[in-house]
Amino acid sequence: MNTLVKLRHVLFVLILLSSFSVAAIEPFPSGTDGKLFTVEGSNTVGAKLAPSWVKSWMEAKGATNVSVEPQKNPNEYRVSGTLKNGSIYVDLHAHGSTTGFKGLLVGTADIAMASRGIKSSEVSALSATYGDMHSLSAEHVVAIDGLAIIANSQNPVDSLSVSQIARIFSGEINNWADVGGANRAISIYARDSESGTWDTFKNLVLAKTYTLSEKAQRFESNDELSDSVSSDAGGIGFVGLASVRKSKAMAINENNTTPLKPEVIYVATEDYALSRRLYMYTPEQPRNTFVTDFIEYAHGEAGQTIVEKIGFISQNPIKSKVAELEGPKEYQQLARYAERLSVNFRFKAGASSLDNKAKKDIIRLTNYLKSNKLDKLKIQLVGFSDSEDSDNRAEVLSRLRASAVKIALFRNGIKSEPVLGYGSDLLVANSNGSGSGKNSRVEVWLY
């Protein structure tokens, strides 16, 4: 299928999505009682975010006396509340992303929390029972997280490359002096093997080249790991963005890209090298209507506001002034008069069709512009591409992708300026790495 045909397919999907809207939340039906559903999986999602979502969702639907109670086993919670004619509860077990997919497989979980995308082996194992786990109705990007590389707050090293991080965690570099710091031995702190945070770190940093040092101390909890690093002058670790706590987050660069700290704008747009998506997975056609209702709540504005309060990055769009830009001169001028939105439209790996998050973001952006009366401002869409066989092909693809977003917004009543496309002039990830798909993106600017 050639590029133009693929883009036509993208536009067809986006037109269908233009009629999507999130319905107002309805009260619990009369007679609702007992367990509503069980959520299993990622500690990153399940430690604070998921319990807060469930509590807020129950209250929004009319429950009273809602509380989050830790259970006998560590990292397990029950969220319970009272209705007029009974009591309700949701169980959450946050032992790592892999356990969520195992829970779906054996039937103990209704929703799987994950801090990584589902693996092909998990898709295959679940498909017979639950359908296409990559479909828009099964795969839910519920928040964005920055995988922060943390050190003691007094450590003079402020920036590391992904390569340096890999060599440190493998034990190849074992003294801070080797990366510009003090003459001090490095202590390694890492998440446990069941954690999606560990899976993300392994894939984004260690890849297939390095293995974790046997001297690394392993933790099930992000917060415990961070507190250990903050009290160790030679410590280094990795945690979800919400668990930096008293440690210091390093600026990260990859293959000569600009070093970026895990700041909101760069994590939200996924330009930060170690940004990641947080997911919930459900059956393609859930039989439990409470599951569908809860997922819609998490996706919505109220649910995404909770994301921000917990310390992750909300998908509710925000606009920010960017102090300085690299790249072509015309692109640099945007920083002088425009504000960048915290939305980047990205595409399925190896394809020209928007991914599941981007399909939802079309609606989020439309609602944001209209509800804040910003749709009268000028909207500049800027496309970029991964490295291609030629500069001309990269530029054409970047403009086509920006045009796909432009037409989708127009179908929703949003006009924008003629698109800009800069090919592969400004890569945010290594073209030969696992995150190369981040380079194919469309930015949104307002002025």
439 and 323 fall within a common domain: yes
Residue pLDDT, tens place only, 247-275: 999 999 887 688 888 888 889 999 999 98
What would the pLDDT profile of 75-131 be if each residue is shown by its tens digit?
A: 999 999 999 989 999 999 999 999 999 999 999 999 999 999 999 999 999 999 999
Q: What average pLDDT does range 132-136 have in this prediction?
A: 96
Within-domain flag for 395 = yes
381 and 438 within one domain = yes
pLDDT of 85 reads 85
Token pair of 272, please? 């930060």
Residues 178 and 226 in one domain: yes
Looking at residue 199, its pLDDT comes to 83
Question: Is the per-residue pLDDT at 395 higher than 80?
Answer: yes
Same-domain status, 48 and 97: yes
Residue 380 has pLDDT above 70, yes or no: yes
- Per-residue confidence (pLDDT) for residue 434, from 0 to 100: 66
Residue 181 sits in the same domain as residue 240: yes
The predicted structure's pLDDT at residue 324: 80
Q: What is the pLDDT of residue 351?
A: 65
Question: Looking at the structure, do residues 169 and 222 belong to the same domain, yes or no?
Answer: yes
Q: What is the DSSP letter of 260?
A: B
The CA distances from residue 272 to 124, 210, 228, 429, 438, in Å, are 31, 22, 25, 9, 10
* Domain shared by 68 and 131, yes or no: yes
Judgement on whether residues 168 and 138 belong to the same structural domain of the protein: no
Please state the rounded mean pLDDT for residues 369-389.
89
CATH number at residue 242: 3.40.190.10
Q: Is 335 found in the same domain as 248? A: no
Do 109 and 161 belong to one domain?
Answer: no
In a domain, 263, yes or no: no
Q: What is the pLDDT of residue 333?
A: 92
Give me the number of domains the chain comprises.
Answer: 3
Please give the model's pTM, rounded to 2 decimal places: 0.81
Beta-bridge mates of residue 87 = 82
Q: What is the pLDDT of residue 8?
A: 42
Domain with 414, as residue range(s), is 3-19+317-446
CB atoms within 10 A of CB 171: 16
pLDDT over 90 (residue 350)? no
DSSP string, 274-312: TEEEEEEE--SS-S-HHHHHHHHHHHSHHHHHHHHHHTS
Looking at the structure, do residues 244 and 341 belong to the same domain, yes or no? no
For the chain, the average pLDDT equals: 90
